[in-house]
Amino acid sequence: MAETPRLHFRSIWISDVHLGTPGCQAGYLLDFLKHTEAEHLYLVGDIIDGWAMKRGWYWHQTHNDVIQKLLRKARKGCKVTFIPGNHDEAARQFLGLMFGDIRIEDEVIHTTADGRRLLVLHGDRFDAVVQCAKWLAIVGDQLYGVTLKLNHWFNRLRARLGLGYWSLSQYLKHKVKTAVNFVTDFEEAVAAEARSRGLDGVVCGHIHKAELREIDGILYCNDGDWVESLTALVELPSGELRILTWQKYFTEQSAELQALIPSLTPTEVAVP
C-alpha cells in the first residue's frame, strides 16, 4: 500500500476543536492530521469541550481517533504542546506536566525559523465576558450550539447538492455589529499583551476567526477553529506563517485529495 502523501511544515497551530460536541468537525481534522507533518504542534485550547460534556455526553468515534492521532504524533517525535482554553480549563491544574508525550502549558513563546518570538496562548483571559460573567458565556455557548446544529443540517443538504462547506455561524458573526466590535477589541488587546512583553507577535484562538495581520507593528495570528472555519496556522521552513483552510472530508474526498496533495507546495493557503 502506497504511503499517504503529506505536507511538511516546521510548526502547526490548531485550536477550538471542541471534541465532545456534535458541532466538532473531527473528520476534517483527522484528515488534516493524516496529511500533515511538523516539528512542533501546538494545541491552542478548547480541544475538548468540558462545558458541553457537563451538560450531556457526546463522543463520536472520530473524536477518539483525533486523540489517538495526536498521541501517536507525539510518540513519533513531534513536539506537541497543549495550552488549555476556557472550555478545557480543568487541564490547567496540570500545567508543567506531561500527558503521554504531550506537554501542558498555560502559554509558551515560540521562535520562528527567521527569529521572530511569538507569544502562544488561548486568549480567553482577554475575553471580558468569560472573565467577569461566566454564566453569560455559558448561556451564549448554548445558543451557539443551537446555531451549529442548524449549520450541520444545512451543510448536509449542501453536500447532497454537490456544494462545499459554508458556515452559518461565521456569516451571522460578520453581520452583527457588536460581534465585529468584540473581535476587533479582542485582537487589539492580545496584540498589546505581546507588545508589552517585547515580543514580535502572538498566536491565539478562542474567537473562532482565523486571521493573520499586523496590529501596530505586532503580528497577530489566530488559527481559527475546527467547528466553523476548519483552519490551522502553519509555519514554513523559512519561518513564513500562513493560514491553511482544510475543506476535504476524509471519507468522501480521500482519493481526490491524495491525488491533489503531491502537486501542492507549502505556500498554498488552502486546499480547495
Structure confidence at residue 271 (pLDDT):
36
pLDDT exceeds 70 at position 109 = yes
Query: What is the DSSP code (8-state) at residue 76?
Result: T
Q: Where are the domains of the chain?
A: 7-271
Q: Which fold has domain 7-271?
A: Purple Acid Phosphatase; chain A, domain 2 (3.60.21)
In this structure, of 91-100, 231-240, 246-255, the range with the lowest mean pLDDT score is: 246-255
C-alpha cell of residue 184: 476587533
| pLDDT digit string, tens, across residues 219-230 | 999 999 999 889
Give Cβ neighbours of residue 59 (< 8 Å, ≥ 6 apart): 19, 20
pLDDT of residue 141: 47
Q: Given the C-alpha cell 500533515, which residue does it identify?
A: 36
At 34-74, the pLDDT tens digits run 999 999 999 999 999 998 898 888 999 999 999 999 999 99
Confidence of residue 139 (pLDDT cuts 50, 70, 90): very low
Band of residue 270 on the pLDDT scale cut at 50, 70, 90: very low
| Phi/psi at 257 (5° precision) | -65, -45
Helix (H, G, I), strand (E, B) or coil at 30: helix
pLDDT at 229 (0 to 100)? 87
Contact 232, 265 (CB under 8 A): no
Name the pTM for this structure. 0.75
